[in-house]
Structure 1
Amino acid sequence: MKIGNDESARQQSVSILDCTLREGSYAVDFQLPAEVIERILVELDESGVRFIELGHGWGLNGHTIARPGLVSDEDQFKLAAKVVRKAAWGGIGMPGVATFEQIGQLADAGASFFRIGVNITEIDSAPDYVTRSKELGLLTSMNLMKTQVLPDDGVVESVRRCESFGADMVYIVDSYGSLLPDDASRLIAAARAAVDIPVGFHGHDNLGMAHANTFAAIQGGATLVDTTLDGMGRSAGNASTEGVSTLMRKLALSSDLDNFRLATASETIVQPLERITDSRYFQLVGAFTGLHSSSFPMFARIAAEVGVDVAQVMERVSAIDPVSPTAELTRREALALKSGRQ
């Protein structure tokens, strides 16, 4: 089982998994130039980050459901194989989008890990992906998106099932950016108590809690925490690599991270990138109602067409289906709101 390309990746009790090149690509509409990708890879590797995720924001085969990346997944993998000397690197994919052939291409290119992103209510779609990834010798994680839609006991049961599928690791994902620190530490601790595999945390910053939640997750026993340089990511973004690495150094959780070099990389490579605009209003409404940013354009469009307040529509929709809300459901609730029906 490959866990990393150097011994320190195996020994570090709490590690950063930087996903600037994958999660962060949302913020630039997936248009990261090759030279930027290479510079980020080098800086992360030389700064002591031990796990690096790259590829299209939507994961393997993501170009089929969103704008293609400026640099293809395959070419990103070649860059990583060329310049990464110390860190483990890998990719992510969603059942029904990523193909087994592409997971094989990831492994053949020299990747060490593969993460399976799946809604926590849809984990039955994942076992074959776990099996295939492990057959290829990849460290295999199941990332449980939209964790908040289940009560704690439901989350724990889902985590147990991930372990039974053969996953090497499971992630609690704050997809809506709506968790508070007590939530993050409680969920991580409950998951850790339920399984023998490591538990990780991926947070979003809709409520400005990404750093606090990441720290709380570490306190709860998280083994890996996701970050991006400058916090660049989808919608409100994520905890910043430079911020979390500084926190880890300050608390003596890691002596390997060059947090000031990471801050320099954030300031000189990532901050100058031209990013697409994102609505702070929707970030907050999404966190409050528990709805994912991928549906925000649909909510805005239908609310405007019907002539009702979008936040009220989102509240109604969330009470019915916070995981996969449809245009039909949204329009029905918007019309009901307009007519005054409960």
Structure 2
Amino acid sequence: MGKILLTEVALRDGSHVVGHQFTKEQVRYVVEQASKAGVPYIEVTHGDGLGGSSLQYGLSKEYDIDLVKAAVEVAGDSIISVLLLPGIGTIEDLKEAYQAGARMVRVATHVTEADVSKQHIETAKSMGMETIGFLMMSHSAPPEVVLEQAKLMESYGADAVYVTDSAGAMLLGDVQARISLLKEHLSVDIGFHAHNNLSLAVANSLAAIEAGANRIDGSVCCLGAGAGNTQTEVLVGVLDRMGIDTNIDLYRMLDLADYVRANILPAPQDITSGSFIMGYAGVYSSFLRHAVIASEKFGVDSRDILIELGKRNVVGGQEDTIIETAQQMAEKKVSV
């Protein structure tokens, strides 16, 4: 088994947890320490990617391009990556990120909509960026559909394609079925991004590696939407025990986790009833905060809202639907 390439996502996925309020100082510290630990890729953007700062998705404390610049200043040998969701981020946002020093982009689409990534992947490749296809909500499509969409991203020039468990809904067999099929039929790297809503993020990441993935996402101190992501420092330690190479300094990552826990994490990143329901219902992991807000506004149980969103197959980028759904549920409740 070859080297596992790890992308640290706390400064992007973790943005959801802190209400997109990361400061340049926090970004510099986390990036510098992660770089010293040997983390090869570090993702920095608004939780919903480039251009995500808005009333709909949440306003950032600082412009995400400024955060990218701050990260690049202290990144050392680490590559700074950005996330881009077509329809939220634009080609101009991508070009700005490149000018700020980002050298990898992950172009994220819903698992059945890879065709909307073509222009963004091709543009990133033309600028010389390492370019990753990111198939969100991969649990919601059969493995054969995931493969079909991954092939599209590969044909556009993606250097790797990720199976992305945005809802934290996958079981080990779900991961193995998708990753093994991509490994068999694609010539590019295969990646996996987990959420811990069913307490399976580390286990699912190991299942992905065993099935052929060589790129894995982690988040220090589990800082990420819902119940968080695969906990970087734990994964590094487990892989070390298994004799799998990451070239990441475990003790430095443990020290960084202690810093994040004491200075950034607003509350313990455990599996609450809300985050569990997201995995159980199969809804996008960043929906929890929006569902709680909608619950308080309309007097509808946030768990019922999340389950209803799962039934309606609401996907990332449709956060405005959460308010609409809660309002409809409240009106139905009153009419009954």
For the Cα contact (< 8 Å) 1:21–1:55, is it kept in 2?
yes
Cα distance in 2 for residues equivalent to 1:239 and 1:47: 17
2:26 corresponds to 1:26? no
For the Cα contact (< 8 Å) 1:162–1:170, is it kept in 2?
yes
**1:169-188: CA deviation from partner (whole Å, max 9, x where unpaired):** 11111111111122212211
1:237-276 equivalences under 5 Å are 237-254=228-245, 256-275=247-266
For the Cα contact (< 8 Å) 1:28–1:275, is it kept in 2?
yes
1:38-49 equivalences under 5 Å are 38-49=28-39
2:279 corresponds to 1:287? yes
Counterpart of 2:219 in structure 1 is 228
2:60 is matched with which residue: 41, 65, 69?
69
Shift of 1:70: 2.8
For the Cα contact (< 8 Å) 1:90–1:106, is it kept in 2?
no
Cα distance in 2 for residues equivalent to 1:88 and 1:266: 20
1:142-153 equivalences under 5 Å are 142-153=133-144
List gaps (5 residues or longer) in structure 1. Answer: 1-10
Residue type at the aligned position of 1:84: A
Number of residue-to-residue matches in the alignment? 330
Residue type at the aligned position of 2:35: D
Using a 3 Å threshold, how does the CA distance of structure 1 residues 80 and 317 change in structure 2: closer, same or farther? closer
For the Cα contact (< 8 Å) 1:229–1:270, is it kept in 2?
no
Cα distance in 2 for residues equivalent to 1:309 and 1:20: 29
| Seq. identity, % | 26
Using a 3 Å threshold, how does the CA distance of structure 1 residues 338 and 151 change in structure 2: closer, same or farther? farther
Choose 1 or 2 for highest CA Rg: 1
For the Cα contact (< 8 Å) 1:302–1:334, is it kept in 2?
no
**1:157-176: CA deviation from partner (whole Å, max 9, x where unpaired):** 11112112221111111111
Counterpart of 1:89 in structure 2 is 80
2:3 corresponds to 1:13? yes
1:309-320 equivalences under 5 Å are 311=303, 314-320=306-312
For the Cα contact (< 8 Å) 2:168–2:198, is it kept in 1?
yes
Using a 3 Å threshold, how does the CA distance of structure 1 residues 37 and 305 change in structure 2: closer, same or farther? closer
For the Cα contact (< 8 Å) 2:300–2:326, is it kept in 1?
no
**TM-score, scaled relative to structure 1:** 0.86
What is the Cα-based RMSD across aligned positions, in Å?
2.7
2:86 corresponds to 1:103? no
Shift of 1:42: 1.1
1:160-179 equivalences under 5 Å are 160-179=151-170
**1:204-244: CA deviation from partner (whole Å, max 9, x where unpaired):** 01111111111111111111111111011112111111111
- Helix, strand or coil for the counterpart of 1:141? strand
For the Cα contact (< 8 Å) 2:5–2:246, is it kept in 1?
no
For the Cα contact (< 8 Å) 2:85–2:107, is it kept in 1?
yes
Cα distance in 2 for residues equivalent to 1:310 and 1:68: 22
Using a 3 Å threshold, how does the CA distance of structure 1 residues 312 and 44 change in structure 2: closer, same or farther? closer
Q: After superposing the two structures, state which structure 1 stretch, 217-226 or 307-316, moved more.
A: 307-316
Shift of 1:69: 2.7
List gaps (5 residues or longer) in structure 2. Answer: none
Cα distance in 2 for residues equivalent to 1:255 and 1:128: 32
Counterpart of 1:6 in structure 2 is none
